[in-house]
Amino acid sequence: MPAPDPARRNERSRRAILDATRALLAETGYADLTVGAIAARAGAGKQTIYRWWGGKSAVVLDALVDTVAAEGMTLPDSGDLRADLRLVLRATVAEFADPVLSATTRALTIETLIDDELAVQVRDRLLRPQLDAVKDRLRAGQRAGDVRTGVDLDQAVELIFGPLYHRWLLRTGPLTEEYADGLVDLVMTALRRGNGRAADDDERRGS
């Protein structure tokens, strides 16, 4: 069983499969989604799916990446960091509010916990763009003096999204715009300059 040749891959099939996947996801949800159904809907053979993807989860990942990628992944820079972060967090909250998207993310997260390779893919192809966009905005904020220079930006990004995921995972509270705004305020406080020991330490270390 030699590796298939990507150059000979049928683009029409690829698109049909991803489209069918998205359609079925919306109709039946991830749990009731089957590789056979995707193939049938796409007018493709199952083998074509297994030839290019590892299974259901990989196809779904690609289908999602496919749509997300089209959306373009840079944050606006209005000059007001707090306002810009509110925008992105509100958008994320809205995504979680969509039942189909939420269920899909949930299912993909499960697969992520089972399959390490998939986890890497999800992280790098689905989430990284979003995270990096926020990181870029924070870096700009750092240059503008809105964020302390000593702050580790990766850690800052996690500080923003971590609580959100945590609440979503454990359903410990509502995911509303008010929540998003409150979280942004908390995070802004943590990142802003001139406020106490942590900042002093960091800047002393950084100098």
Token couple for 88: 């992105």
Which partner in a second copy, DNA, none is near 112 (CB below 5 to 8 A by kind)?
Answer: a second copy
Pinpoint the alpha helices (H) of the chain. 11-28, 35-42, 46-52, 56-70, 81-97, 99-114, 116-121, 128-144, 153-170, 177-191, 197-206
In a 13 Å sphere around the CA of 154, the CA atoms on its Cβ side amount to 1
Which partner in DNA, a second copy, none is near 135 (CB below 5 to 8 A by kind)?
Answer: none
Which partner in DNA, a second copy, none is near 98 (CB below 5 to 8 A by kind)?
Answer: none
In the list 20, 25, 56, 81, the residue contacting DNA (rule: CB under 7 A) is: 56
Taking CB under 8 A as the criterion, which residues in 77-106 touch a second copy? 106
* Cα-based distances in Å from 165 to 23, 108, 120, 139, 162: 26, 14, 18, 23, 5
Q: Considering beta carbons, is residue 14 or 160 the nearer one to a second copy? A: 160
In the list 47, 172, 189, 207, the residue contacting DNA (rule: CB under 7 A) is: 47
**CA-based nearest residue to 20, from 57, 47, 50, 59:** 59
d(CA 42, CA 110): 25
Quick note: the x/- pattern for a second copy over 159-178, rule CB under 8 A, is x-xxxxxxx-xxxxx-----
Q: Which residues bind a second copy (CB under 8 A)?
A: 29-31, 106-107, 109-110, 112-116, 119-120, 122-123, 127, 131, 151-152, 154-156, 158-159, 161-167, 169-173, 179, 182-183, 185-190, 192, 194-199, 201-202
